[in-house]
Homo-oligomer: A and B are copies of this chain.
């Protein structure tokens, strides 16, 4: 090796290397990656699979002049290593100096802050169009894989980009996997292309106007460099289909591709997780319950849009569920409308989906589901700041504002495990409305409180006077602690679990009009949330209303406790506000 990795400041530093040196470099980068990934966790399989492709990309193209757009950008670790950020992979103290996705705040080699699938071709098309209007000559490259290609936005853009009739390069990283297995016939077609070494006369990319290049050895630098060079500076749209091995270089990741798509810290030799969390878990509770419900009723169907593991549907459990488990691939729009169709057809669909991803189906929620008032059930995971996801591109605290203002949808927020399962059951059994249930974040809370399934009614958990605290699901424990503090100071507040956030319980709110103060608490943005509905309802009452919740902003890798404190959502702060 001629290159000292610490001196790897920019892609210019690898341009003079020969193929053996590039190969050696790739192996070194992979070793560094393995060390960081095993110690820190991250997107293991995707990054190990594209080491060579990323080296070849930076060897052939001239970023940042040439524009590289990574889809999802969970596979951009090697790109970061090659573009001045290798210290954050070499030095454990600096591991967290980089985000897990491309980030323009870190480097001008990163063009977009992304994290949802299927956006790269669209974004790159915009860059290509801008280049053409400005007379630029740079290459524009979209790098896409891991099932992103099957997403609607990607397919729309794949169809549109060649129409520009200009330089546009798509690198399709085909590792034969999504997060879990692939779904959709497109992936059978990719298999047909692989098996024919790219020569199949039927070729969807050629049909859409692309020059098509197949790279059988997608982890071989020479093959990759040759292909990339042949596409560079093309005056038309080129799609390079590279056949890579997800998890390459880590035997357990090569074998257990789904488990190692994303993984926490693990033992490099055995692949065993460093920490085994066997604490009680809402997702697991949901999955086990759904398995029972599906067993008892063949009309109950659980759906996912490519993320079954996110709510506990392991391959074994999917097998148990059989035909009653549907994975449509990472296609939330399709999944939402399929749920609508299932409901119309007399089934009881339950779509398990992360809060950050359900926003990809706003129009389908509103039209296919809500206008038709179909009784589809959506169980929302990782909602709120407490939901567990803290990356800027995976925030879960916009769900209440986004969903609860769509007519006909009942948005429920349970405050305990018992209430959660009761809501899931009630939602499946009723056939009047679409229902969204927000799985609580944080530690599992148990309650033996009787549950009235008329969820349009607020549940008065503690009766008091003068001050009322109305706290949405996962905020209820904080409200109860605030109440303890207040009681110690001689004020007994009324504490209310609103349960349904999509409308107010006017009868209950009317009963509070004589109160000095009403405080609302929600783990979601204030704007468009349930607190503002309460404030508006009580707008002409003498009661003072204080809405507590999150500011409308995109946070990044935040500390949950700090965010709650910054927004006056600790028990002490709430108690203080109640007294003020």
Contact = CB atoms under 8 A, between A and B. Distances in A.
Nearest to A187: B159
Contact of A328 (B156, B298, B539): B156
Contacts of A114: 367-368
Given A359-B362, A367-B115, A547 B536 contact: yes
Given A299-B133, A323-B133, A122 B337 contact: yes
Contact of A362 (B156, B337, B363, B544): B363
B366 A126 contact: no
Contacts of A202: 201-203, 206-207
A393 B372 CA distance: 10
Main secondary structure of the interface of A (DSSP, over half): helix
Interface stretch (A18-26, A491-499, A523-531): A523-531
B528 A157 contact: no
B546 A367 contact: no
Contacts of A533: 527, 532
A113 interface: yes
A340 B329 CA distance: 25
A134 interface: yes
Interface string A132-169: 11100000000000000011110111011011000000
B152 A405 contact: no
A531 B299 CA distance: 43
A501 B156 CA distance: 31
B528 A536 contact: no
A326 interface: yes
A364 to B, nearest CB: 7
Q: Which of A115, A192, A363 has the most CB of B within 10 A?
A: A363
B338 A153 contact: no
A465 B405 CA distance: 33
A343 B536 contact: no
A391 to B, nearest CB: 11
A406 B395 CA distance: 12
A184 B203 contact: no
Nearest to A358: B363
Contacts of A405: 398, 401-402, 525, 527-528, 552
Given A160-B328, A186-B159, A536-B535, A129 B208 contact: no
Interface stretch (A51-59, A270-278, A345-353, A413-421): A345-353
Interface residues of A, number: 114
Contact of A340 (B112, B336, B341, B535): B112
A334 interface: yes
Interface string A163-191: 10000000000000000000111101100
A341 B404 contact: no
A186 B210 CA distance: 11
A201 B517 CA distance: 73
Nearest to A341: B126
Contacts of A363: 116, 359-360, 362
Interface string A349-380: 10000000001101110111011100000000
A338 B152 contact: no
B156 A152 contact: yes
Nearest to A401: B405
B402 A402 contact: yes
A115 B368 CA distance: 10
Contacts of A531: 536
B553 A130 contact: no
Nearest to A161: B185
Tell which of A113, A192, A364, A536 has the most Cβ of chain B within 10 Å. Answer: A536
Nearest to A347: B130
A153 to B, nearest CB: 4
A177 to B, nearest CB: 16
Contact of A338 (B122, B209, B393, B538): B122
Contacts of A343: 126
Contacts of A542: 542
B525 A344 contact: no
A338 B126 contact: yes
What 5 pairs across the A-B complex have the smallest Cβ distances? A126-B341, A152-B152, A130-B345, A122-B337, A539-B545
7 contacts: A104-B372, A122-B337, A153-B337, A156-B328, A189-B209, A371-B554, A398-B406
Given A111-B344, A129-B342, A157-B337, 4 more contacts: A114-B367, A129-B347, A131-B345, A359-B362
